Amino acid sequence: MTRPLWTAAEAAEATQGTLEGPDWSAQGVSIDSRDVAPGDLFIALVGPIHDGHDHVVEALERGAAAVMIHHRINGLPKDAPLLVVGDSMEGLTALAAAARTRSKAKIIAVTGSVGKTGTKEMLKLALETAGPTHATLGNLNNHWGVPLSLTRMPADTRFAVFELGMNHPGEIEPLSRLVRPHIVIITAVEAVHMEFFASTAAIAEAKGEIFAGLEPGGHAILPHDNPHYPRLVEIAQAEGVTAIDSFGCQSGATARLLDFGLDPTSTLVFALLANRSISYRIGIPGRQWAINSLAVLLAVRAAGLSIHAPAQALASIRGPKGRGARVRLAWDQAGLEIIDETYNASPISMEAAIATLAAARTGPGGRHIAVLGDMLELGEGAPEMHAGLAASLVAKRIDLVFTAGPLMRHLSDALPPERRGGHAADADALVTLLAPVLKGGDVIMVKGSAGSHMGRIIEKLSAIAAPAASDGH
């Protein structure tokens, strides 16, 4: 019989809460009543808009094993299984801390301006070759997502990977102290969330907070080619970290990318890892995947594993929704391929996505088309950063560029006239300009910050055309 994730007694001890109603055990943990699965412990959090206590009855009706609450609720069944705590957010955090304390897993934490989720997904795939592996689901990387991910970690987990995010100073340190990783990775320090930081140097300081929770004798893996690499090393050493590896293209990196090759569906990597050559394939095209895979293999090595089976496992990774997933649509005779990059956007991730689009194989007579929405939270330099993308689009010979939003107007104006596909105020309006221009054989890449809602373009194009079979790439 499968061991419960949490028994009532374990959860009560961890949270110093009071049990009411019948005994229970939980196989999962949820904070969203819409996602409750039978057997979950539902934790009623109070957010800025919604109070989870208003949805406790719904959670029980959906099969929740028990509910964690901090105030009384009208209409509850008399025999409802309850865990009553002083504050449900504090209860979630306490349960997370207990999950970490009981775990014997090797813990890896990942942060960075870009590439966190992709690196986390590669790590999960690589580590699964050696044993049961738990990882952050999606991008649950904030002050409630991280503790939630910890509470979901089974006691018998051998490896665990947690993504830590932030958009203000001071957010990563408490998350790192909760996760207490043995290995930390910083993927990059770039001009992301600049609205909340005075400079990229300030972002480096904030990313460096991850070292505060690193376990004694822990390992740091840092981006060697980044301008802020020396400062990251200083911050790590000030926290007592002595085991520091680096990854990049420059000589001196522990793991060094020698060369890479892109085809429409994958990336072939040639690298030196601690002066030993290695080659492997990643199941997603993109230079950024090649670079971040080096950090993955360094973490695998730091976890005490051989890198060979984990490296070969990377061939089976596929682009997550919004982060490089491929969508095929029936369109004319040849069909249409969409590269879905709609999860978020920054100047560096835009450059990478443009390169990926350029490497994609079109159908007969097809074109490479970029459909771009505003990059948000970039601060005062945003207009120049948007206009600056024109050089890459021209250099990579992207045939047409469609833009949406007030900031992307600066890019549209900077493009040569023959590459301007059209500009609209928002994603919804852009579809009416884009759809009539598309033809079979085209490959389009859709990207923008989450607040630009560029995913709506893919939804509307999918509604116009009957979807063809997706290849999962």
Residue pLDDT, tens place only, 93-128: 999 999 999 999 999 999 999 899 999 999 999 999
- Same domain as 118, residue 66: no
Residue 470 domain flag: no
> Residue 1: pLDDT band by 50, 70, 90 thresholds?
low
Please report the pLDDT score of residue 379 as a whole number: 84
Domain boundary among 261, 281, 316: 316
Residue 386 domain flag: yes
How, if at all, do strands 255-263 and 266-273 pair?
antiparallel
Report pLDDT digits (tens) over 392-443: 999 999 999 999 999 999 999 999 999 999 999 999 999 999 999 999 999 9
Q: Is the pLDDT assigned to residue 467 strictly greater than 70?
A: no
Which CATH number covers residue 435?
A: 3.90.190.20
In terms of phi and psi (left: phi > 0; alpha: psi -120 to 50; beta: otherwise), the region of 63 is left
Residue 109 domain flag: yes
Residue 180 domain flag: yes
Q: Please, what sign has the CA dihedral across residues 349, 350, 356, 362?
A: positive
- Same domain as 76, residue 108: no
Q: Is the pLDDT assigned to residue 193 strictly greater than 90?
A: no
State mean pLDDT over 183-194: 89
- Same domain as 74, residue 129: no
- Same domain as 69, residue 172: no
Residue 1 domain flag: no
- Same domain as 349, residue 307: no
Question: Residue 25: beta bridge partners?
Answer: 7
Helix 347-359 to helix 287-302 angle (10° resolution) is 110
Please report the pLDDT score of residue 471 as a whole number: 45
State mean pLDDT over 143-170: 95
> Residue 469: pLDDT band by 50, 70, 90 thresholds?
very low
Report pLDDT digits (tens) over 245-304: 999 999 999 999 999 988 878 899 999 999 899 999 999 888 899 999 999 999 999 999
State mean pLDDT over 174-189: 97
Domain boundary among 73, 94, 115: 94
State the DSSP code for 182.
S
How many domains does the chain divide into? 3
Domain boundary among 47, 71, 94: 94
| Domain span including residue 346 | 325-464
- Same domain as 260, residue 363: no
- Same domain as 164, residue 183: yes
pTM across the whole model: 0.84
- Same domain as 149, residue 74: no
Q: Which amino acid is at 320?
A: P
Other C-beta atoms closer than 10 Å to the C-beta of 464 total 12
- Same domain as 60, residue 23: yes
Residue 472 domain flag: no
Q: Over the chain, what is the mean pLDDT?
A: 93
Query: Dihedral through CA 281, CA 454, CA 402, CA 446, nearest 10?
Result: 10
Residue 473 domain flag: no
Residue 440 domain flag: yes
Q: Which amino acid is at 370?
A: A
Q: Is the pLDDT assigned to residue 150 strictly greater than 60?
A: yes
